[in-house]
């Protein structure tokens, strides 16, 4: 039986990750990638959701190699029939922080230097109390944590509201529009993507306002019909 969870996330710290770099400005887009959410929710390297945990790539306590292992980790979620969508902003504000640093190599090398040139950069972050919404589709019931950590600074965030939809209605060969952000690699293999808007961000650019043709789930939410693509699984660039 398919389970769909609508999750609301509220920031309690400012959130930073570099969606784009424009000169000295490092900007955070008010969109949360579904890869990041999978790690933050504890689905990666959690024995509850993984058939087998690899000690060499266990990210719970220590990261031995600074190389992403998205395919190895997220493929295991496919085996558990768990899929997390990217999160869109419900309400958000941005804050701009300026940081400075200097060339302090002489402190380490104990060599005389003629220059100590200061430099600076600016980080555009998402402010506390900003709220996001995302969905989790699973074959089995899921227990969610109350608090999670996100971004470069491991910012604290609260799962403030979770609504559980059981046994959603499935419709085949439908043409529908999804306003929520989606990962294009995860829908293009199961749906015909007709049109969309692009959100440029690493590691995989996302799409929103997507017009699709294929299978979908429909549930009632606040006197409105919520439509999500069915059969979404994690896929990766060759």
Q: Give the tens place of pLDDT for each residue, 130-158.
A: 999 999 999 999 999 999 999 998 999 99
Please state the pTM of the whole predicted model.
Answer: 0.85
Decide: helix, strand or coil at residue 24.
coil
Q: Radius of gyration over alpha carbons of the chain, in Å? A: 20
pLDDT confidence tier of residue 54, bands split at 50, 70 and 90: low
Nearest to 217, CA basis, from 137, 132, 133, 139: 137
Residue 215: other Cβ atoms inside 10 A: 17
Considering only CA atoms, which of 172, 199, 170, 168 is closest in space to residue 183?
199
Question: Is the bond preceding residue 203 a cis peptide, omega within 30 degrees?
Answer: yes
Is residue 113 pLDDT above 60, yes or no? no
Mean pLDDT of 56-64: 56
Percentage, residues of the chain above pLDDT 90: 66
Which residues, in sequence order, are CB contacts of 97 under 8 Å at separation 6+? Answer: 14, 122, 123, 125
pLDDT tens per residue across span 160-219? 999 999 889 999 999 999 999 999 999 999 999 999 999 999 899 999 999 999 999 999
pLDDT digits (tens, 9 = 90+) for 84-94: 999 999 999 99
């Amino acid at each position: 039986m398919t389970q769909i969870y609508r999750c609301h996330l509220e920031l309690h710290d400012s959130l930073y990750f570099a969606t784009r770099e424009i000169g000295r400005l490092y900007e955070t887009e008010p969109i949360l990638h579904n890869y990041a959410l999978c790690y933050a929710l504890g689905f990666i390297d959690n024995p509850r959701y993984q058939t087998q945990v690899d000690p060499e790539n266990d990210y719970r306590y220590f990261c031995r190699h600074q190389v992403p292992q998205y395919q190895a980790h997220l493929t295991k979620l496919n085996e558990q029939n768990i899929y997390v969508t990217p999160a869109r902003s419900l309400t958000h504000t941005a804050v701009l922080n300026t940081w400075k640093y200097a060339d302090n190599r002489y402190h380490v090398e104990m060599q005389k230097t003629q220059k100590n040139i200061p430099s600076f950069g600016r980080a555009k972050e998402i402010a506390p109390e900003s709220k996001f919404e995302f969905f989790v589709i699973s074959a089995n019931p899921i227990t969610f944590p109350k608090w999670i950590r996100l971004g470069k600074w491991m910012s604290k965030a609260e799962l403030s509201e979770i609504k559980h939809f059981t046994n959603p209605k499935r419709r085949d060969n439908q043409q529908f529009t999804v306003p929520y952000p989606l990962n294009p690699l995860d829908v293009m293999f199961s749906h015909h993507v007709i049109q969309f808007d692009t959100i440029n961000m690493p590691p995989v650019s996302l799409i929103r306002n997507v017009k699709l043709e294929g299978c979908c789930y429909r549930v009632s939410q606040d006197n409105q019909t919520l439509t999500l693509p069915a059969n979404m699984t994690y896929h990766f660039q060759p």
